[in-house]
């Protein structure tokens, strides 16, 4: 009886195994066929080893516009977002004090010009007087010489000679006085010219001071912020507007001390701006600040950004971004991005087994490399995966690889 029971169990087990095999064979036979799928064999490849740093987009040229004079703002001609060009008037400040100063300086210049003209006339009179005095002195000198001869011959009395000699001394004194007067007037003329130069400088200074009441844009760019409005009191050095050049932006990334020696000027960098989506931008290292931040122990690296299509308007200062620096080479398993299936939080691929059946398998992906992505776990070298038309493949589908030149796979 015991042997009969054992024999029955064996018979039932063999029957169940046979039934399962038939069901699996039937399922394999009836599975959906995907014709012309592209299949790739998983293998390790040499990829760039990279370091990623986060940073903020800044404009290469940024100018804070402020006033050089104290006064009330009477006109604000721009708003945030306006495009301005260098020399364009942005802000006007009350200029009454500047006008008064300019009028005062102008009046002083007129007064000094008048004084110079008066001195000039006096100099002409003094020159005429000096000429007459010199002529009188020469006459007196020649007369004294003749009278000296007459005195020597005793043709005249000593009294007459003394009178002639006195007239000669007076003529000498008059000539000396005329010369000193002319020198004095020349000194006054030089003083008047100096005062005129000072008055001209005062006029120029008042004009410059008056020009400070009309504030112009220092660079071509875009107004990104406005800190004042009409009626505000403008003070020297207080910011009124901030202008950034809209043609050249940089990503200022914070790089750890351990990585800074691997980064050099003119290195090519891949930049990703979160506001622009997953698209990567080309960048070049243009500046490495040599001093580190003692709080974060990082170095500031500035990367010039080349926007797609040269459209600088899609980039703005303050955007968050990431920079990927190539620091070496390593071996890693990478697969095409289009082979990855994302469903919610799950990432998977279709692995094709030896019988041509596609099985969905969960994988963990890493860094992207152009149109490929690194696979950290879930795949082994030598396995085959479906790399395109994954939308028409299901778990359990039979997959037939496409011949060269055939259209994409279909069910």
Tens of pLDDT, residue by residue over 217-266, are 999 988 988 999 998 988 888 999 999 887 788 999 999 999 999 999 99
Pick the range with the lowest mean pLDDT from 82-91, 183-192, 298-307.
183-192
Question: What pLDDT, on the 0 to 100 scale, is given for residue 260?
Answer: 92
pLDDT at 410 over 60: no
Question: What pLDDT, on the 0 to 100 scale, is given for residue 362?
Answer: 93
Q: What is the mean pLDDT of residues 32-36?
A: 76
C-alpha to C-alpha distance for 110 and 298, rounded to whole angstroms = 64
Tens of pLDDT, residue by residue over 275-312, are 887 778 889 999 999 999 999 999 999 999 877 665 55
154 φ/ψ sector (left φ>0, alpha ψ -120 to 50, else beta) = left
- State whether CATH 2.40.50.100 applies to domain 64-94+214-243: yes
Band of pLDDT at residue 119, cut at 50, 70 and 90: confident
Question: What pLDDT, on the 0 to 100 scale, is given for residue 249?
Answer: 87
| Cβ within 8 Å of residue 55, ≥6 positions away | 251, 252, 253, 254, 301, 303, 321, 322, 323
Tens of pLDDT, residue by residue over 140-178, are 888 888 888 888 888 888 888 888 889 888 888 888 888
Q: Which tokens is 225 given?
A: 């912020």
pLDDT at 321 over 90: yes
pLDDT at 19 over 50: no
pLDDT at 3 over 70: no
Which one of 2.40.30.170, 3.40.50.620, 3.40.50.300, 3.40.190.10 gives the CATH number of domain 51-60+245-330? 2.40.30.170
- Report domain 96-211's class: mainly alpha
Q: 392, 385, 388: which is closest to 358 by C-alpha?
A: 385
Q: What is the mean pLDDT of the chain?
A: 82
| Strands 341-343 vs 249-256: parallel, antiparallel or unpaired | unpaired
C-alpha to C-alpha distance for 45 and 337, rounded to whole angstroms = 15
pLDDT at 22 over 90: no
C-alpha to C-alpha distance for 231 and 307, rounded to whole angstroms = 40
Domain boundaries, the chain: 51-60+245-330, 64-94+214-243, 96-211
Classify the C-alpha dihedral 313-316-322-328 as positive or negative. positive
């Amino acid at each position: 009886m015991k042997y009969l029971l054992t024999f029955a169990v064996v018979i039932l087990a063999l029957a169940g195994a046979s039934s399962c095999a038939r069901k699996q064979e039937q399922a394999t036979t009836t599975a959906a066929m995907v014709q012309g799928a592209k299949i790739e064999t998983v293998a390790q490849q040499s990829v760039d080893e990279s370091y990623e740093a986060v940073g903020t987009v800044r404009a290469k040229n940024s100018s804070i516009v402020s006033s050089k004079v104290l006064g009330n703002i009477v006109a604000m001609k721009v708003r945030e977002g306006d495009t301005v060009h260098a020399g364009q008037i942005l802000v006007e400040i009350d200029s009454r004090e500047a006008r008064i100063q300019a009028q005062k300086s102008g009046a002083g210049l007129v007064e000094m010009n008048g004084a110079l003209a008066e001195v000039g006339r006096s100099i002409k009179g003094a020159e005429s007087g000096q000429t007459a005095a010199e002529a009188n002195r020469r006459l007196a000198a020649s007369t004294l010489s003749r009278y000296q001869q007459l005195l020597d011959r005793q043709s005249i009395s000593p009294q007459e000679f003394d009178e002639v000699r006195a007239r000669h001394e007076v003529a000498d004194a008059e000539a000396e006085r005329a010369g000193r007067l002319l020198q004095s007037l020349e000194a006054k003329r030089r003083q008047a010219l100096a005062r005129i130069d000072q008055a001209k400088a005062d006029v120029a200074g008042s004009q410059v001071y008056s020009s400070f009441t009309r504030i112009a844009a220092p660079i071509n760019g875009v107004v990104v912020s406005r800190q004042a409005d009409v009626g505000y009191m403008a003070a020297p050095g207080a910011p009124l507007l901030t202008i950034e050049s809209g043609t050249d932006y940089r990503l200022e990334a914070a790089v750890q001390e351990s990585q800074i020696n691997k980064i050099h000027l003119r290195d090519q960098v891949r930049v990703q701006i979160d506001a622009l989506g997953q698209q990567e931008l080309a960048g070049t290292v243009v500046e490495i600040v040599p001093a580190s931040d003692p709080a974060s122990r990082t170095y500031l690296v500035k990367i010039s950004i080349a926007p797609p299509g040269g459209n600088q308007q899609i980039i703005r200062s303050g955007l968050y971004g990431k920079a990927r620096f190539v620091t070496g080479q390593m071996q890693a398993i990478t697969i095409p991005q289009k082979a990855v299936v994302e469903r919610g939080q799950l990432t998977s691929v279709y692995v094709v087994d030896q019988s041509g059946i596609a099985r969905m398998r969960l994988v963990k992906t890493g860094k992207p490399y152009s149109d490929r992505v690194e696979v950290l776990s879930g795949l082994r070298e030598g396995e085959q995966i479906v790399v395109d038309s994954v939308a028409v493949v299901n778990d359990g589908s039979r997959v037939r690889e496409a011949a060269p030149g055939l259209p994409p796979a279909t069910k």
